[in-house]
Structure 1
């Protein structure tokens, strides 16, 4: 049973990856807003229902990885060791190279550049990105407020969450810009992690300094 379960899971993962790869290829060729889900299903040799089973919204085909990153970031802050500050936990997580930035293969950076171009040309993807950042900023603010024993709309918790997520957004923007410029993963990782360190140092030292 364990072997059969593992085989089923591998097949599901292969199907998921095939759907996403076909979608990105079609989006890159024609633009996100002009490619219907039916075309993605045909290219991946699956039904439209299967596409939606794996990706509930069309935008998930592009932003699933971003959502996974933000979920992991919130979990890292929430589950941080006793005595570790929110900023320290946030710093530790975002300053770890991962994904394409930890891989020397150029294909990963080209995928990032493709996503950057798609987002720049799609109001739908731009809206999804804003919604994602807003949702996770709210989640972080609620987490900070709960630990401080204050209301979820406490201004200090809200300011802290927005400042931290601003660093996250700045790092993402830098990655996209450099990927579009053709920089290597190693160079991008070095620059964006330095940017993150400077920004988080500023927050830890206090904006007044």
Structure 2
């Protein structure tokens, strides 16, 4: 039964990714606002209802990693080593994403095209802001469960710091800066940001 469920889940994830990939190509060709969900469904060979089963909103077809971001940030806190602080675990996650050139790191050869589509669409920019809030709420919940002092504040400043570094690197990539150079500076800024957060957290002390 577990194997069947695993196979079913893998198929669902593959279908979700295929629909998102097809939608992304259409958005890149014609712009987000010019493409309808019905057109995405036809291109993917599924019904519009199937698309909405996987993606509640059109914007989620493109910004499809928001749930993964929330899961990763919360998971870093939940799954940290017994002697590891939440901030240390989050720092480790941020650096791993960068090393992997994961889409959620914000640094990679292919990502400027993604950023241009977002910048050109008010709907996507709005959804991206909502996504940041969703990640922040998920992280705050995880920090509260970890008995962290003032989890809402810590989640807010951590996500804000990560977003600030992410956006700065995205702007540089859009300007044509070399990826290796952006990645090096991105790492340095992450290290500085988390060092500052850890110092502030240590000054606050435990509850």
For residue 68 of structure 1, report the CA deviation from its aligned partner: 0.6
| TM-score, structure 1 as length reference | 0.77
CA distance in 2, matches of 1:11, 1:138: 29
Please say if residues 142 and 157 of structure 1, whose CA atoms lie closer than 8 Å, have aligned partners that are also in contact.
Answer: yes
Q: What residue ranges of structure 2 are gaps of 5+ in the alignment? A: none
Match of residue 199 from structure 2? 205
Match of residue 29 from structure 1? 29
| TM-score, structure 2 as length reference | 0.78
Match of residue 155 from structure 2? 161
CA distance in 1, matches of 2:29, 2:185: 30
What is the number of equivalent residue pairs in this alignment?
A: 198
Q: CA separation of 1:11/1:122 partners in 2, compared to 1, >3 Å: closer, same or farther?
A: same
For residues 167-209 of structure 1, the C-alpha deviation after alignment (integer angstroms, 9 at most, x for no partner) is 221232134223323445444332212110111112222399x
Match of residue 57 from structure 1? 57
For residue 88 of structure 1, report the CA deviation from its aligned partner: 0.8
Match of residue 164 from structure 2? 170
The CA RMSD over aligned residues, in Å, is 3.3
Match of residue 97 from structure 1? 97
Match of residue 173 from structure 2? 179
Q: Give matches, 1:69-80, under 5 Å.
A: 69-80=69-80
